[in-house]
Chains A and B, each alone.
Chain A
């Protein structure tokens, strides 16, 4: 568990027949908080804001997930962060909201493979099958708060605050090896 993990140095955490886990390259992230005319905000940033918690939307490289009744996380290409910030800033006087960059806050693990869902079940107390493809949830994994995105039946992304990443990488590595041993 002495690993150090940085989004500046994407790396493979573990690769087994059951699951492949890797740290993804840094991407832009914005925490958006707002209430009121969400349509106007969606228009400004170029992607409409889903209003049901756990639902995602995606347009032109911007991905958004609704995490709370007034909370969204935007994934934005690094070179477009300023553009999105600028667009939101123009709304400020008429439409109160909060926009905070959290690019540096998080590390994303990509988890793929035939037993990716089983790997999630070693640390996440939720019923993984209730997270449908194309959705995401904030939940727990091995004691840390994470946002779990389901991109396919066998493909997940897990966003976690960077300080937790070494610990969770260790869990994922142990689990992926354990699941692979079951296949053998």
Chain B
């Protein structure tokens, strides 16, 4: 069982309180009706299957209830960072450098 830092609660807490919520930074298009079939299919279905640092979403389901973003290494299960929804994607190179 891993531990996850909730950026809203400011605490590092057991994984049991959290729920995984898929890849991060996938934005629902502003005007779906203007999307081509290909664009809409990509939005719905196309996801990266990253080996290594992965931008993903979690929800503090049994805590503050917030969705937030994280960068997690899918090999080691280690989190490099978690950050609030809406915040920009952090610089991965810098994160990896800092984690060394």
Tell me if chains A and B make direct contact, with any CB pair below 8 A: yes
User: A residues near B, CB below 8 A?
Assistant: 52-54, 67-69, 71, 125-126, 130, 137-140, 145
Write out the residue numbers on chain B whose beta carbons fall within 8 Å of the beta carbon of A139: 13, 17, 62-63
The smallest C-beta distance from B87 to any residue of chain A, in angstroms, reads 13
Residue from A69, A71, A140 in contact with B62 in the complex, judged by beta carbons closer than 8 Å: A140
Establish whether residues B13 and A71, one from each chain, have CB atoms under 8 Å apart when the complex forms. no
Interchain CB contact (< 8 A) of A69 among B13, B16, B17, B66: B66
CA of A67 to CA of B1, assembled, Å: 24
Determine whether the beta carbon of B62 is less than 8 Å from that of A53. Answer: no
Is A53 a contact of B17 with CB atoms below 8 Å? no
How many Å lie between the Cα of A137 and that of B14 in the bound state? 13
Known interface pairs A139-B17, A140-B17; A145-B11 also in contact (CB < 8 Å) = no
Q: A68-B8, A140-B17 are in contact. List 12 more A-B contacts (CB 8 A).
A: A52-B10, A53-B8, A54-B9, A69-B64, A69-B66, A71-B65, A138-B63, A139-B17, A139-B62, A140-B16, A140-B62, A145-B62
Q: In the complex the two chains form, is A138's CB within 8 Å of B16's CB?
A: no
Q: How far is the CA of A125 from the CA of B13 in the complex (A)?
A: 9
In whole Å, how far is A26's beta carbon from the nearest beta carbon of chain B? Answer: 24
Proximity bits, B1-32, A CB within 8 Å = 1, else 0: 10000001111011011000000000000000
State in angstroms the CA–CA spacing of A54 and B10 once bound together. Answer: 10
Bound complex: CA of A159 vs CA of B28, how far in Å?
Answer: 36
Known: A68-B8, A125-B14, A130-B11. A137 touches B63 (CB 8 A): yes
CB distance from B85 to the nearest CB of A (A): 11
A138 in complex: contacting residue of B10, B14, B64, CB < 8 Å: B64
Q: Which residue of B lies closest to A138 (CB)?
A: B63
Task: Report the nearest A residue to B7, measured CB to CB.
Answer: A69
Say whether, besides A53-B10, A54-B9, A130-B11, A68 and B66 are in contact (CB < 8 Å): yes
Q: How does the 8 Å CB contact mask read for B72-91 relative to A, with 1 for contact and 0 for none?
A: 00000000000000000000
Smallest CB–CB gap between B60 and chain A, Å? 9
